[in-house]
A and B are shown apart, each in its own frame.
Chain A
Amino acid sequence: MLNELLDDLRFPIGLLFSIFSAILVTLGLTRPLPPGADVNLNLFAGGVMGVFGLFMLFFALWAARAAARAGK
């Protein structure tokens, strides 16, 4: 199953955006907003990246599992 996963482009894309999301959301929650800013950009952009990243990971895992089952 690992082989299928590594061949699937959705896996690295999902993983990278999930990591970016974790970093940005943490920053958004812990750091005070810079003066003049009225939107917590790190939190919102990080949130969107997280949803996107997890979706990509989910589909990659789903496809890899299906391929592994079909292989058996």
Chain B
Amino acid sequence: MKLSPIDYVIIALYFLFVISIGMLLKRKVKCSSDFLGGHGGKRGIPLWITSLAFISANVGAQEVIGMAASGAKYGFMTAHFYWLGAIPAMVFLGIFMMPFYYGSRARSVPEYLKLRFDEKTRGLNAISFAAMTVFSSGVALYVLAILLKALLGWGFGFSVLLSAGIVAVYTFTGGLKSAIYNEVLQFFLVVMGIVPLVYVGLKRVGGWDGLKAQLPGVMTHTWQYMGASSDNPMGIGLFGMLMGLGFVLSFGYWCTDFLLVQRAMVARNMSDAQRTPVIAAFPKMLLPFVTILPGLVAITLTHLGGDFSIPLKADGRMDYDMTLPSMLIHFYPSGLLGVGLTALMASFMSGMAGNVTAFNTVWTYDIYQAYFCKEADDAHYLRVGKLATIFGILISIATAYVARSFNNIMDLLQLVFGFVNAPLFATFLLGMFWKRATGHGAFWGLMGGTAGAALTHGLTVAEGKGGWLLASGALPLHEFRSGMGQAFAISILAWTVCFVLTIAISLFTKPKKDEEMRGLVYSLTEKPKETEARWYLRPAALGTVVLVVTVALNFVFR
């Protein structure tokens, strides 16, 4: 497809603005915490920016493309990833966990683990997180380059170097603040660039009622087909959905992922830090209508057999990942098409920038300062942080190239990270709410949980994957209906193993002294003083509102 010159002008304008934001913020970078983030305090960032950056850091990379794809494949059940798999965990993070993250004045999530538990638990978390962020950033680059090649015919190397180069310029100059500012810009671009598509799409199929009339019931309901895993295309039953997605995976991601928590840590005060994820939950709650609905419209139009249909892969199956991009090209006139494509590129690039800026913080504070050079002046760590930014981007580029030649390596990496992440929430839950939990308990609990996850994956199969621990010819312990069902089961098991193991080992090992854990654990921390005078703007009140509205949405679209 060829873009018109005006679309290129729009894309170029966006690049220009992104780089200028980085250049303008350069004046403000004076010490390592200006560049890398850390505890916000007086020099912190306003609440509306931290909230939108929080949501945008999540809506980055694959979500915009992926949710439309899931919408076309699984239907409106995909909304569970928002209303069940995000909102409750976001509110929990804000109200119950931020007091410890922010109150401890830790500069990163691994650093909290160091303060609460010990050095080895921090090291484990820091190293796995650092590896995960640079690889995710590489995957974002790879997917973006593949997309630009398919849509615009740009060469792989050109796309990779162009997007990585722009991200490098604005993260190197402005640091974390620049990444955060550009995430906010990206949020508005995604909304403005995709809402018109929802509008024309729905108009074409006769609105929500038209979708309901033309699609089978399972595609337009969230809960009605959840009774058994055989009833819905996701292949997931009620227990797996509630425990796997609703509890372990969502709380594990939203409440422990430093990339997200970092956005709240740089807020100006405790009340703002607590409200960052809670306020972010409001747009998150409405996003299914922006990200999933285009997928539903696309599959309806494909069934109707008009002038639009979802493109096919070489093997004749539908290429769901192309759902959203192909709709943009089909429905948008040049001009708006430029804005739509800019929104897609922005979401990939800011996803990458978010990962790189989280990587450089964890690298500098939790790996370099912890293991290589404990006592140096601040200017030294600022230099290390800047070098880590460039280093992170170089690894991302390398990852993108590796992913292009060996697609399986990407799957393998994501699998391994899944094993590492699944048990994490058990560690944080026990660490924050049970003062008896010890460093040995936390470390070996995490190890055990990861091993449990790998074992489950090795002994069960789903869609022909897994079962690598089985002797040839041996029957798997269980065959899952879908890969997603298997992933949910693995996470539930890993969480349980970590939870039980941490408690058991903690009971046999020596706990930290109470005074060392003040501000880090629930029973030894004063409730944060509420600084917001108006009760309806306090974290708990806002959290209640967002939960009530989410329940109502679930009811309406049940």
Contact = CB atoms under 8 A, between A and B. Distances in A.
A1 to B, nearest CB: 15
A20 B14 CA distance: 10
Given A9-B184, A45-B196, A16 B336 contact: no
A13 to B, nearest CB: 6
B551 interface: no
A28 B188 CA distance: 21
A38 to B, nearest CB: 8
Given A13-B184, A13-B185, A42 B200 contact: no
Contact of A27 (B13, B49, B184, B334): B334
B188 A13 contact: yes
B153 interface: no
Interface in B171-222: 181, 184-185, 188, 192, 196, 199-200, 203
B339 A24 contact: yes
Interface string A12-45: 1101110110011001100101101111011011
A54 B334 CA distance: 23
Secondary structure at chain A's binding surface: helix, strand, loop or mixed? helix
B377 interface: no
B268 to A, nearest CB: 15
Contacts of B185: 9, 12-13, 16
B188 A12 contact: no
B106 to A, nearest CB: 26
Contacts of A20: 10, 13, 339
A48 interface: yes
Nearest to A44: B196
Contact of A9 (B20, B49, B331): B49
A39 B334 contact: no
Contacts of B203: 38-39
Interface string B14-58: 100100110010001000000000000000000001000000000
Greatest chain B CB density within 10 A among A7, A23, A31 is at A23
A7 to B, nearest CB: 8
Contacts of A31: 333
A54 to B, nearest CB: 14
Nearest to B16: A16
Contact of A19 (B13, B20, B196, B336): B13
Contacts of B334: 27
A49 interface: yes
B476 interface: no
A37 B331 CA distance: 8
Contacts of A52: 188, 192
B436 to A, nearest CB: 44
Contacts of B21: 9, 12
A6 interface: yes
B333 A12 contact: no
B6 interface: yes
Contacts of B200: 39, 41
Max chain A Cβ within 10 angstroms of own Cβ: one of B6, B9, B49: B6
Nearest to B307: A36
A12 B15 CA distance: 12
Most-contacted residue by chain A among B10, B13, B199, B336 (CB, 10 A): B336
A20 B10 CA distance: 7
A24 B332 CA distance: 12
A27 B6 contact: yes
Given A17-B188, A23-B6, A9 B181 contact: yes
10 contacts: A9-B21, A12-B185, A13-B185, A24-B339, A34-B333, A39-B199, A42-B336, A44-B196, A49-B192, A49-B339
